[in-house]
Chain A
Amino acid sequence: MVFFQNLINALQWGSFYALIALGYSMVYSILMLFNFAHGDIFMVGAYIGFGVASALIALTAMGAFALPSWLILVLTIIFSMFLTSFVGMIVERVGYRPLRDAPRASAAITGLMIGIILETGNLALFGAQRVSFPSMINTVTYNMGGVFVTNKKIMIVVVSLLLATALHQFIRRTRYGMAMRAMAFDYVVVPLMGVPLNTMAAMTFALGSALAAAAGILFGVAYPVLDPYMGILIGWKAFVAAILGGRGSIVGATLAGFLLGFIEIFVAMIFPSTMRDLIAYSIVLLILVFRPHGFFGEAYSARLRL
């Protein structure tokens, strides 16, 4: 019973990690760069979701229109994904495009610094007190043979799986997806074939940020307390998941996100919870020692710029 209960929790945490890891993975596959501001984009997405949700709830309360609560949640997710994608594009424009030809590590530093600016800017705007995310749907708990499942948890897992599948289909089926795959294959020659590198890079950042925003809102639904530093730890952990999945692999990043969730939750189940990071990251380290390229990554090619 405890096992299944933890399984549900692991699936929930895995959903957050997976959605964020997808953003890291996509940017890496196109530009061979890590977007270290991504964890903070997740945080910004959660705050934008907070703003959108509050606005929608206020409008409904004022009687501007009558929306059922689930529709408010859906609209919040859609609007916030749309708005946050612009944050991603701005980050790309400011921090990454000017450094296209610079050593890769320099771009990593600008990403890190943009992350700090986002955190501090948020702190300056909202102050140090935490913001509580409005609860849009009431929690309903189902008892499935002793395992307690809430509707929120189911919703989180389903939405994140849907988004990951949608992204996968987008990359496999559409023209833009094909351009992204081509770019991931060779970002030096493919632009010469008429695929606009800047547009593709901006689109990749926008897609990744939109997914991060979705993760932020789902996180807010599950743990309705937002603070400006919430993105740091979860972002870096998702980064580890992206690596574990194999850099640039969509399926890999999704699965590794869930795997990291499982490792963390089950380590905490067996060992004292203070040991969680210690053992979880030792396991990650071991996996990487034996599979340096992650689960779905291609063997490392010498396409390095530094």
Chain B
Amino acid sequence: MEGTSEKLSPTSMLSKINIRAWVSRVPLLGWLIGALVAVGLEMAIGTPLARGLGLPKAPVLFGFVIMLKKPLLIPSAALYLLLIYLLPIGLIARFGSAALNRLAAKLADFSTVFSILLHLALLYLALHLWSGLSDYRVLVVKLTLIAVMVTLSLNVINGYMGEFSCSHPGFMALGAYAASAFTVSLFVNDKLFGAALLPAAIGPFFFPIALFLGGVTASIGAMIVAIPSFRTRGDYLAIISLAFMFIVKSLIENLEVVGGPRGLGSQPDWANLPTVFLTTVICIWIINNFVRSTLGKALNAVRDNEMAADAMTVNTRRTKFIAFLFAAFWAGVAGGLFAHVLRYVNPSTFGIQKLAEVLAMVYFGGLNSVYGAIVGATSISLLGEALRPLEIFKWIIIPLLLILVMIFRPTGLIAFKEFDVRKLIQPKD
């Protein structure tokens, strides 16, 4: 850092320092309100502005797709990005940070819970308005949130526990099928399960039960992996869980009750954005509390040195067992949501491809870190969508990126960082 800043001219150095300084002073509230304003601006003048700039319509994913598809439109897409997103957010962050810091301080003094809820509400509002512009955005947001849940739950095993589990697609499949079987058999008239048993009107109230059931089914499946594999440490779990994944996939393919290889469709459309958002928030909250609890710390101790942890009265087998089932539970819940978002699942969704995707998200974001899981899942899913115009070359760029991350930061981008909501919403002054 020192070496580079010496070469810069005094003015540019000044501006660089200034930018750093004021970015670090902006509270989370500032970014959220900035995002909200940007999204509002897009709603109000997005389409006319895009037309005026010569774009066919308002860019769906920050203009990246259009930049890759039609390189000639790069300047106008970049201008759109600047005018709609960067400028409002930057202006609010620059000139509103003092007032917003005071507001954040007041909020924190008033009630932490209220402040957290307000931040969440702002975040949801921004997401809601942003995704309101097209169905594609809604789908991207939903799938990204689900990816966050899956990544976070796998991070409990691969990051916090330090084992290498390959069975997450299997758990997702169990959750997806259990939840779908519950909702489809009770509330939908279809060919596989016959007529609906209960009126569809009360269905949405049963959706949490369906998701819970999905989670519990995944946990029961996890027991099959956990009971034999936690007798020894090391790569044993990787193999057993891999075999388990093959078994689950093959089992579902052979269960004609749930459609076999043709898959299971016509799930009710209950996984709307608020539901998915709420479930994800609850998932992050509970998992974050779990990893910060005594049990979570015991889990870290088991990872770092199982024998020492044992000597320190940690019941290592029980700890690993609970953590594994817990992670599988959330993978199952995410699977249930996934099935209801796409409203169709088939066994081949939950294969090696899915495994590679989830592992990529975990290791890209960072081990042993809730931030890492969020960052990894979000960036890999959004990157996957943004690079779609490149077609198959997307699958060269993303793996290359991941290899580079692994070489330069072997534990991922944001590893071993504690996620503290109180710290996050504090005023930054």
Task: List residues 220-235 of chain B with CB under 8 A from any CB of chain A.
Answer: 228, 231-235
Mask, A199-218, CB within 8 Å of B = 1, is 00000000000000000000
Size bracket of the A interface: 35 or more
One of A108, A285, A302 near B240 (C-beta < 8 A): A285
User: Does A236 contact B242, Cβ atoms closer than 8 Å?
Assistant: yes
Inter-chain CA distance A281–B235, complex, in Å, is: 17
The stretch that binds A, out of B76-84, B248-256, B272-280, B329-337, is B248-256
**B133 near A: Cβ within 8 Å?**
no
Residues in chain A near residue B367, CB distance under 8 A: 103, 105
Chain B positions within 8 Å of A34 at CB level: 235, 238
CB atoms of A109 and B243 under 8 A apart: no
B406 and A102 contact, CB distance less than 8 A: yes
Q: Which of A102, A112, A247 contacts B359 (CB 8 A)?
A: A112
A102 to B363, CA, bound (A): 12
Alpha-carbon gap, A284 to B399, bound state (A): 31
Closest to A278 in B: B250
* A99 contact from B352, B393, B407, Cβ within 8 A: B407
Nearest-neighbour CB distance to chain A for B234, whole angstroms, equals 5
Residue numbers in A under 8 Å from B251 (CB-CB):
278
Give the residues in chain A near B243, CB-CB below 8 Å: 240, 281, 284-285, 288
The answer to whether the Cβ of A304 comes within 8 Å of any Cβ in the partner chain is: yes
Chain B: CB-nearest residue to A239: B242
Question: Is A285's CB under 8 angstroms from B244's CB?
Answer: yes
Q: A109-B360, A121-B396, A300-B233 are in contact. Are A306 and B406 (CB under 8 A)?
A: no
What's the minimum C-beta distance from B273 to chain A, rounded to whole angstroms?
A: 31
| Partner pick for A109 among B232, B236, B406, CB 8 A cutoff | B406
A114, A239, A243, A285 interface centre (most CB from chain B within 10 Å): A285
Chain B positions 127 through 165: 1 when the CB is less than 8 Å from some CB of chain A, otherwise 0? 000000000000000000000000000000010001010
Interface status of B14 (Cβ within 8 A of chain A): no
A129 part of interface (Cβ distance < 8 Å): no
Closest-CB distance, B400 to chain A (whole angstroms):
7
* Bound-state Cα–Cα, A136 to B231, Å: 50
Quick check: A232 and B352 within 8 Å, CB to CB? Answer: yes
Cα-based distance from A29 to B352 in the complex (angstroms): 25
A residues near B395, Cβ cutoff 8 Å: 116-117, 119-120
**Number of residue pairs A-B, CB distance < 8 angstroms:** 122
How many angstroms from the CA of A47 to the CA of B220 in the assembled complex? 43
Residues of chain A contacted by B238 (CB below 8 angstroms): 34
Report the separation of the CA atoms of residues A90 and B231 in the bound assembly, to the nearest whole angstrom: 37
In the complex, A215 Cα to B399 Cα: how many Å?
26
Instruction: Give bound CA distance, A289 to B363, whole Å.
Output: 29
Interface centre among A105, A106, A114, A275 (most CB of B within 10 A): A105
Contact of A281 with B250 at beta-carbon distance under 8 Å, contacts A117-B400, A120-B395, A288-B228 already known: yes
CB-nearest residue of chain B to A121: B396
Residue of A106, A107, A233 with most chain B CB atoms under a 10 A cut-off: A106
A292: Cβ under 8 A from any B Cβ: yes
Q: Known contacts A102-B406, A240-B242, A304-B233; is A114 also within 8 Å of B363 by CB?
A: no
A54 at the interface (CB under 8 A from B): no
Binding site for A on B (CB under 8 A): 158, 162, 164, 228, 231-236, 238-240, 242-244, 246-247, 249-251, 253-254, 261, 303, 352, 356, 359-360, 363, 367, 392-393, 395-396, 399-400, 402-403, 406-407, 410-411
